[in-house]
Every structure is written in structure tokens, then in C-alpha cells.
Structure 1
């Protein structure tokens, strides 16, 4: 079991007291498995993804990632998980503006000490980025930037790829193309995929689905 979530609860403070965003959520994901989590805006999808990525703390329950419990981990241990086990792709791309395409692609793999030049070259070609290696992020289209973000995440060969509305800023045709590339490359790399989306069309492309409603798995 690569990811195991047990009775997870997360609350945010509000004017009328702590408000539960996630309530008793349990979910699991095997190595190499792909899962799409759907739900309305505000249902807690992104919150759950951030908790899995050790970007925030939860109030009750447990998350185990690659056999390691996340509760009580210090920031250095959380950073190590994000460096070595988990990679994230967000809707906003989050490329480093002062780095070229080639440098962005290699960035996380270099931090993890797992830079494989041949794999980066293959990703560059598969993602249609040949000839763009020396460009800056601001010189790319939205679709090109998202392809760089996906390549950067997969270059380190993560065990789990977390993707939060990764095609939300793209038109439908570009979205379909980028999603197809991501699914092919995830399968090729052997990573598991946890994809958050509000789109039933996109979720239908992923092998397994779960739905989050009012903070619980429906």
C-alpha cells in the first residue's frame, strides 16, 4: 500500500468556531494505481491533496505514505518526503521564472539527487518541448508551461504524483492533450497518480474514481 488515509479530519477556524473541512475520510492507493478525486468547489479536494503532500497538518486520523505516518513529522522530514517520494503539479504551473525550461525540468530531480539526463531528454521529447529548452517560462504558452510542470514532477521519478486541477487553466483541446501525456508518462514511470478535478470528463479518463462531498467520501 503506497498511500493509506484513515479516519482523517481537518478543521479550519471560523467566526463560529472550528469548521470541519474533512470528516472521517478513509482512502487508499496502491503503487502504480491512478485515482481521480471529484467534488464541488469547496468540498475539500485540494485540502486533502495538500495534507497528503505534507503541506499542512490534520486534526485527527492518520496518513501513511510509503509506510511512514505523517502525524508528528517535523518540517525537515516533510520536506524529505516531498523531495524523495511525492511530486506535485498545480493548476498555476509554479515554474521558477529565473530558470530556463531545461533548468526547470531538472530542478526537482537535482534536489533529490536523482537527475537522469536520459530520462529528462525523453520527457522533453515526449512532452513536445524539444527546441524550447533555453526559453524562459514567460515565453511559453499555458499548455507548454503545464507540460514543463508535469515533466519537472516526473523527472525525479516520484512514487506518487499529486495533481491539483492540472489542466484547469487550459482550453479543452489542450487539456485533453496534456492529460493524455501525463497519464502515459505516469504509467511509463511506474508512479501512482492522485488527481483532483471538478471535471467528470477528465475523471472519466482515470482508472479509479472517488467523490468528496461535504468533507466526506461519498
Structure 2
């Protein structure tokens, strides 16, 4: 199993109840999983934990058998620069970098830059004519395609996406999602995608639903 989330709980200081309460799920290589739930149900928190962006109190998360509880800050950063990549609702592109530089940025940080692969991604994502442009000159859909390409340039084992079409209109969002699913299938990566949309969730292989921090 690629990703194992085993009985994980998370509570923020001062909160009356845990944001996540003994959550368990598993995801294998090549699988696509939609994580749904109401606002405040813990979806984004769980995604951040899977991406080694935050700490949990109890339970364990493993990626290819690597236990997150054993990692220091440097080890967690290495997880995010190699086997795990993230795409957010806010595109989080670097405004001072061109499209080409943004696409290569995380892969260069992780020592995994492959120019031929980045060129292939740019072509598949319809960005090959935009490589010299800067993010502020792009549409929302174009910016999100850059963000997806930047994540996949790492050739991650696991792609985590938090409402990746939330800032896009339905038509553009559907096109971006279809491209992302095609490229995830091409790479063999697993995809864990947070969404509030039943329609988007239906596009993925399976789904789990969070309610008040627990899978029901």
C-alpha cells in the first residue's frame, strides 16, 4: 500500500473537539480517491497531514512504509520534494518566475529536474506557447495548469490536490481536472483530491466522506 493513514487524530490548541478523530484510510499506487465533506469537516487538514505539512497527535501515516512520526523537519521537507507533490486551490505560483521556471521550480529543489519530462508536461497541458510568460498574464485555468505541471514535474508517487478547480468556472475546471487525471494515470501516481463537489468526486475511482473529523 502506498499511503496508509492509520487511526490519526489531530486537535488544534483551544478547540473543543479534534479536527480529525481516529481517521484511517489507504491508497495504493495508481488509485484516485476523492475526499469529500462539509466545510470544517477536516478535509484540508487530513490532506496537509498526508503531505507532511503538519503534525498529528496520535496514530501514524506511512508512505511506502516510511513512518511520518519518525521524520524531523528536514525529512518532512524531503517528502514534499520527491514522493509527494501538492496542488492547491490558490495557484501559489511564484510571480517573479516565468511559466517555464515555475514548472521546473520544485523539481530543481528536489534534484529531480528532467527537461524532457517538463517539456512533455508543458505540451500536454497546453503551456508550450506560454513558457516565457509570467503568472499575472495568465488566466486562472492557465495558472492552475502550471501548478499541476509543477507538481507532476517531480514525478511524485502521490499527488495531493486541495479543491484544485475551486477558483475556476465549471467548464474550465472540468478541462483542468480531465488533464490532471490523464497525467496522473500516465505517471502511475496515486491521487488524493479534496472536493466539496459530488460531480467532481464521481470522476475519481472511489471516495470517502468526512463528517466532524471522522469517516462515516
1:19-58 matched pairs, under 5 angstroms: 19-58=17-56
For structure 1, the 5+ residue unaligned runs are none
> Which deviates the most, 119-128 or 164-173?
119-128
Q: Per-residue deviation at 1:72?
A: 3.9
SS at match of 1:5: strand
1:191 pairs with 2:204: no
Q: Distance in 2 between matches of 1:68 and 1:130?
A: 36
Q: Structure 2 length as normaliser, TM-score? A: 0.98
Q: How many residues align?
A: 216
| Partner of residue 73 from structure 1, selected from 67, 71, 74 | 71
1:24-173 matched pairs, under 5 angstroms: 24-173=22-171
User: What whole-Å deviation, never above 9, does each CA across 1:50-77 have from its counterpart, x for those lacking one?
Assistant: 0111111111111011211111421000
Q: Per-residue deviation at 1:118?
A: 1.3
Indicate if the aligned counterparts of 1:104 and 1:152 stay in contact, CA closer than 8 A. yes
User: What whole-Å deviation, never above 9, does each CA across 1:122-148 have from its counterpart, x for those lacking one?
Assistant: 111111112110001111010000000
SS at match of 2:30: coil
Query: Which aligned runs of 4 or more in structure 1 are off by greater than 6 angstroms?
Result: none
SS at match of 2:46: helix
1:4-19 matched pairs, under 5 angstroms: 4-14=4-14, 18-19=16-17
For structure 2, the 5+ residue unaligned runs are none
Q: Distance in 1 between matches of 2:128 and 2:18?
A: 46
Q: Distance in 1 between matches of 2:128 and 2:80?
A: 28
Q: Structure 1 length as normaliser, TM-score? A: 0.97
> Which deviates the most, 71-80 or 155-164?
71-80
RMSD: 0.9
SS at match of 1:163: strand
